[in-house]
């Protein structure tokens, strides 16, 4: 199975565990990341992730999250075809 985790998901394990929902979501994301390191799930990465991660004001978070890119089996680069597909999805309401 291949999975794409957005920046919010990759940041969740670093969020303060101030409520039950945040704690549960962080635990769930950590379990997915464990499966990625075990080779049970394949991670897909993108240039959009690289850009968004670079905007994180926390150097520690940036460095930790960027390491997950090393586990990616596929890195989606921004191309005109990808941009056109994105625009189409946005127009359809997604």
Closest listed residue to residue 65, CA positions, set 57, 73, 78: 57
**53 alpha carbon, distance to own chain's centre:** 9
| Predicted local distance difference test score (pLDDT) of residue 83 | 83
Which pLDDT does position 73 carry in this prediction?
95
For residue 84, name the pLDDT band (cuts at 50, 70, 90): confident
Residue 89 pLDDT level (bands cut at 50, 70, 90)? confident
Quick check: 3 pLDDT over 90?
yes
pLDDT digits (tens, 9 = 90+) for 12-68: 999 998 899 999 999 999 999 999 999 999 999 999 899 999 999 999 999 999 999
């Amino acid at each position: 199975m291949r999975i794409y985790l957005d920046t919010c998901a990759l940041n969740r394990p670093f969020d303060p565990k101030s409520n039950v929902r945040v704690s549960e979501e962080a635990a769930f994301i950590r379990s997915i990341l464990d499966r990625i390191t075990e080779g049970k799930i394949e991670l897909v990465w993108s240039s959009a992730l690289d850009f968004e991660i670079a905007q994180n004001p926390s150097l520690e978070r940036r460095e930790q999250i960027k390491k997950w890119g090393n586990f990616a089996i596929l890195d989606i680069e921004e191309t005109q075809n990808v941009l056109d597909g994105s625009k189409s999805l946005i127009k359809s309401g997604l």
